[in-house]
């Protein structure tokens, strides 16, 4: 993590220099947070300016770090998001323009260094000499032909994770495996629905003497409890019994608290001042995306347009991470009406209303003596219209999402180490087969952080090979 924090800025600068040199469209590398921009910088928002009626574009604030709720993070978060969309967009990073920068880097390697790229060729085993140094790799092409590649200095393995391998995921993601098994899940189904990434890179590294980082090991779960169009935020959450159950400001840690609730519906409750909670939220992956201001103007417009008292929720546009997934929102004139619209059980309704009243008392007192949420995120639920979102609570069966976030151990030169923590000469790792980057989940301010780490660590690994291997 420290290597990434210290070197991600210079790496981004290098990528942009390469993009310029190789003739990439300038919109790809020009920071522009307006709806016309392709590449954005994440920022905070000033609620007082919003409340005063200022345009959302005037309410951005880069100065008020660190943010109090949530986990420790850093403000430098850039995304190659692509064009703004006024409509919902399904699919992860559907409009991303990062591919143009990636291609430019490959083109420069071929142009300046005579690099040969071998597509459709899979590494099968690493080669070592009698001293234990890694000297090459045996690979197989699409026709089944075996090819031996010898190296002068070393091998950098950037072969991805193991989310597509149910057996490896079951063996290594022990905390999530237990949750899945408790719900009746089977090993064969414990894998990412996105396919690919079969863990072969991690196996290669282990067969060469490396070791997987110790448990707990993470996968790309975003944390959070009850989502809305703004993602998981520090708004009030109530369980199916009508009771508050955690510090909603710690979005990353709230996932475990949510999993430990009795199975059933959960309820997010907010009011006309929903933007105040959004502005007070921590900078976390499942929290709102502050880099696309137009998303928030869209949100304000969509929330205002929701019919009051409608028995079915209204689907509106989302405004968190890089996607524009929709979310269902209820709207009511009173909290009593909101409870009925959301289907709060009759036997829990009074507790539900009392919990909101108690929460408002804590907000007025300026101290969350129940769960310790930071005062800056204690926003009362007092003014109509009232809004609500529903989510699932309990130990729901959770398979690895997208990618796993654990890999093999290395030293600070990204040199893979053996079971006794000694570096293996000539063997390096980067990307999602590298360990030591995350805890049990994907705690990061913005979508694409694992890509940012892969780019940064990959560049560093190449530099370390050149500098350290003779």
What is the Cα gyration radius of the chain? 24
Handedness of CA 13, 14, 18, 24 (dihedral sign): negative
**What number is the average pLDDT over the span 375-392?**
95
Query: Helix or strand or coil: residue 76?
Result: coil
Do 87 and 215 share a domain, yes or no? no
Residue with tokens 């032909």: 145
Judged against a pLDDT cut of 70, whether residue 327 lies above it is answered with yes
Do 205 and 246 share a domain, yes or no? no
Predicted TM-score of the model (pTM): 0.87
Phi, psi (degrees; rounded to nearest 5) at 51? -60, -30
Domain count within the chain: 3
In a domain, 466, yes or no: no
CA–CA separation, 43 and 275 (whole Å): 15
Do 267 and 307 share a domain, yes or no? yes
Alpha carbon 272 to chain centroid, angstroms: 28
Q: What's the pLDDT score for residue 292?
A: 74
Do 26 and 45 share a domain, yes or no? yes
Is residue 73 very low, low, confident or very high in pLDDT (cuts 50, 70, 90)?
low
Handedness of CA 362, 365, 366, 367 (dihedral sign): negative
Chain-wide mean pLDDT for the chain? 88
Is residue 408 very low, low, confident or very high in pLDDT (cuts 50, 70, 90)?
very high
What CATH number is associated with residue 129? 3.50.50.60
Do 302 and 254 share a domain, yes or no? yes
Judged against a pLDDT cut of 80, whether residue 358 lies above it is answered with yes
In a domain, 229, yes or no: no
Do 264 and 405 share a domain, yes or no? no
**What number is the average pLDDT over the span 106-132?**
95
In a domain, 465, yes or no: no
**What number is the average pLDDT over the span 53-79?**
59
How is residue 313 written in tokens?
């929720």
Which domain, by its residues, includes 183? Answer: 122-220+401-440
Judged against a pLDDT cut of 80, whether residue 223 lies above it is answered with no
**What number is the average pLDDT over the span 56-68?**
56
Is residue 72 very low, low, confident or very high in pLDDT (cuts 50, 70, 90)?
low
Q: What's the pLDDT score for residue 19?
A: 93
Q: What's the pLDDT score for residue 322?
A: 63
Do 370 and 407 share a domain, yes or no? no
CA–CA separation, 337 and 339 (whole Å): 5
Residue 214's CB: how many other CB atoms inside 10 A?
9
């Amino acid at each position: 993590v420290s290597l990434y924090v210290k070197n991600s800025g210079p790496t981004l600068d290098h990528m942009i220099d390469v993009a310029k040199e190789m003739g990439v469209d300038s919109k790809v590398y020009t920071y522009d947070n307006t709806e016309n921009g392709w590449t954005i910088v994440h920022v905070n928002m000033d609620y007082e300016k919003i409340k005063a009626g200022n345009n959302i574009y005037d309410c951005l604030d880069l100065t008020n770090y660190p943010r109090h709720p949530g986990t420790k993070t850093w403000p430098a978060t850039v995304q190659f998001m692509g064009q703004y969309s006024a409509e919902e967009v399904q699919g992860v990073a559907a409009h991303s323009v990062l591919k143009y920068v990636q291609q430019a880097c490959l083109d420069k390697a071929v142009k300046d260094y005579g690099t040969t790229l071998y597509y459709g060729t899979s590494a099968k085993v690493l080669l070592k000499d009698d001293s234990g140094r890694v000297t090459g790799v045996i690979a197989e092409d699409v026709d089944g032909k075996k090819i031996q590649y010898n190296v002068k200095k070393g091998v950098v393995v950037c072969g991805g994770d193991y989310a597509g391998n149910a057996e490896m995921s079951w063996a290594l993601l022990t905390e999530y495996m237990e949750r899945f098994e408790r719900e009746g899940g089977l090993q064969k189904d414990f894998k990412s629905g996105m396919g690919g990434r079969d863990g072969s890179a991690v196996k290669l590294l282990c067969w060469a003497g490396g070791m997987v980082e110790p448990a707990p090991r993470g996968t790309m779960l975003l944390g959070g409890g009850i989502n809305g169009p703004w993602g998981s935020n520090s708004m009030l959450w109530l369980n199916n019994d009508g009771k508050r159950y955690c510090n909603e400001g710690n979005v990353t840690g709230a996932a475990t608290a949510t999993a430990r609730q009795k199975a059933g519906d959960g309820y997010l409750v907010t009011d006309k001042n929903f933007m105040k909670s959004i502005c007070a939220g921590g900078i976390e992956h499942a929290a709102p995306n502050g880099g696309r201001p137009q998303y928030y103007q869209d949100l304000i417009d969509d929330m205002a347009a929701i019919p009051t008292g409608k028995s079915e929720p209204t689907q509106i546009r989302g405004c968190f991470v890089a996607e524009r997934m929709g979310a269902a929102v209820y709207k009511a004139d009173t909290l009593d009406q909101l409870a009925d619209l959301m289907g709060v059980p009759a036997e829990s309704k009074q507790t539900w209303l009392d919990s909101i009243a108690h929460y408002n008392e804590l907000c007025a007192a300026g101290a969350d003596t129940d769960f310790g949420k930071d005062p800056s995120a204690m926003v009362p639920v007092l003014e109509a219209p009232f809004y609500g979102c529903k989510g699932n609570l309990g130990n729901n069966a959770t398979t690895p999402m997208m990618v796993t976030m654990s890999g093999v151990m290395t030293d600070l030169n990204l040199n893979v180490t053996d079971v006794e923590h000694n570096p293996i000469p000539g063997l390096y790792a980067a990307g999602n087969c590298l360990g030591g980057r995350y805890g049990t989940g994907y705690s990061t301010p913005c979508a694409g952080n694992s890509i940012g780490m892969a780019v940064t660590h990959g560049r560093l690994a190449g530099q370390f090979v050149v500098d350290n291997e003779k």
